[in-house]
Structure 1
Amino acid sequence: MFDRLIEFLNEAGYLGIAVLMFLENVFPPIPSEIIMPAAGFGAGQGRLSLFGVIVAGTGGSVAGALFWYYVGKWIGADRLRRWAGRHGRWLTLAPRDIDRVDRWFDRHSGKAVLLGRLVPALRTLISVPAGVFGMSLPRFLLFTTLGTALWTTLLAVAGYLLEGQYRIVAAYLNPITNIIVGLVIAAYLYRVATWRAT
């Protein structure tokens, strides 16, 4: 798969990187932990510029984050409260919990979005509460872009420096991503099993 991805990125260039990073955020076909090191490897071979790779990866990823931000905005806090009232067990939230989360997000939204964009598996999810709880679009874009640029830069530079061994990046990050996803699923299932409407 790595070799095919390299071939695709060599042919599609910056637009291909942006499209893959957009899709990775909307419906992950290939994780960024593979896309960006492969693109960085292409830059290391002189086929692309490292700066262009980082800009394309960041742009595509931010566009994908915007998609989920607007999904969250469409849901909104009021609708989420109604859903929590009807389907609290499956959301693992009661209507009063929405107000608590709303207050917490008002205080910590910048840090939550910035750091969330650096955590595999949570990178996409953090955009939804930003939209739900009304984080302003300029503020969301600022912190999303900062976090995303840092993430894509780290991955692209790793691929650039490791050159032929860029697969090492994915080899280390993929298990970490799987562990985080597994913990999130386990925590959700535990909350569903032990949820009480109080």
Structure 2
Amino acid sequence: MLKTLAPLTPAADGGSAFGAIGDWAVSIMNFLGAPGVGLLVLFENLFPPIPSEIILPLAGFTAGSPDGSFTWVEALIWATAGSVIGAYLLYGLGAWLGHDRTVKLLSYLPLVDREDIDKTIAWFNKHGYWTVFVGRMVPIFRSLISIPAGVERMSWWRFGLFTFAGSAIWNTIFVYGGFVLGNNWQVLEEVAGWFQYIVIAAVVALVIWYIVHKIIKARREQRSKG
């Protein structure tokens, strides 16, 4: 029979110390044990707004609590399994979309032309495996990177291998970190939050650069024609 966690510690403001998502995650871990960690991570892959930065440290915290029903190693194994399964589901979505359909959809985007798409696809085909590996450790892109891998029909077993490796590193940092930090597990969430802000800022800067570049290029072409 599964043991249950100790009651949640009330926060100073009268709410839960874990927050709404944390409460939901803990309730699933209470009910399912270590497999619940895998299920939560699977959901996180398919629905990126569910943050692994909360789920994984909480799994480690749970493993280290006196009433925990699983070890941090079991939590890590199930979390990594959930990561790989979720990645393969999104890989399948990309494979279903296919190369031609995806290129057609992208070509409808403003300021995007076929040459840009072809260059991006060529770059991904050249560096795709390492992109998948690193992408599994980058907020926002952790889930999305599986879709272009499926679109370009990356070798399914190599995709799984690099996904497993990247996910295992990310999951170990957060699960074991939550296990070691205990009640201070939120430190990991805060650090991941700053990392996410950096990623978002870099993406915004890249988008701005791309738009400015395309506008300047269009003006130059107009002048040369004139």
Give the TM bin, normalised by the shorter chain.
Answer: 0.7 to 0.9
Per the alignment, residue 174 of structure 1 pairs with 193
Greater relative contact order (Cα 8 A, min sep 6): structure 1 or 2? 1
C-alpha distance in structure 1 between counterparts of 2:96 and 2:29, whole Å: 34
Letter in 2 for 1:88: L
Per the alignment, residue 82 of structure 1 pairs with 104
C-alpha distance in structure 2 between counterparts of 1:189 and 1:74, whole Å: 31
| Contact 1:72/1:132 (<8 A) preserved | yes
Of 64, 73, 76, the residue aligned with 1:44 is 64
Cα separation, partners in 2 of 1:131 and 1:183, compared to 1, 3 Å: same
Q: How does 1:39-78 map to 2 (within 5 A)?
A: 39-46=59-66, 47=68, 48-78=70-100
- RMSD across aligned positions (CA): 2.3
Identity over the aligned pairs, expressed in percent? 36
Q: Larger deviation: 99-108 or 186-195?
A: 186-195
Cα separation, partners in 2 of 1:160 and 1:178, compared to 1, 3 Å: same
5+ residue gaps, structure 2, are 1-15, 222-226
Q: How does 1:15-26 map to 2 (within 5 A)?
A: 15-26=35-46
Shift of 1:33: 0.7
Per the alignment, residue 109 of structure 1 pairs with 128
C-alpha distance in structure 2 between counterparts of 1:179 and 1:44, whole Å: 31
Q: Larger deviation: 28-37 or 75-84?
A: 75-84
| Contact 1:40/1:160 (<8 A) preserved | yes
TM-score (structure 1 length as normaliser): 0.86
Q: How does 1:173-192 map to 2 (within 5 A)?
A: 173-185=192-204, 187-188=206-207, 191=210
C-alpha distance in structure 2 between counterparts of 1:134 and 1:169, whole Å: 35
TM-score (structure 2 length as normaliser): 0.76
Structure number with higher helix proportion: 1
C-alpha distance in structure 2 between counterparts of 1:51 and 1:93, whole Å: 46
Q: Which has the larger radius of gyration?
A: 2
C-alpha distance in structure 2 between counterparts of 1:71 and 1:186, whole Å: 29
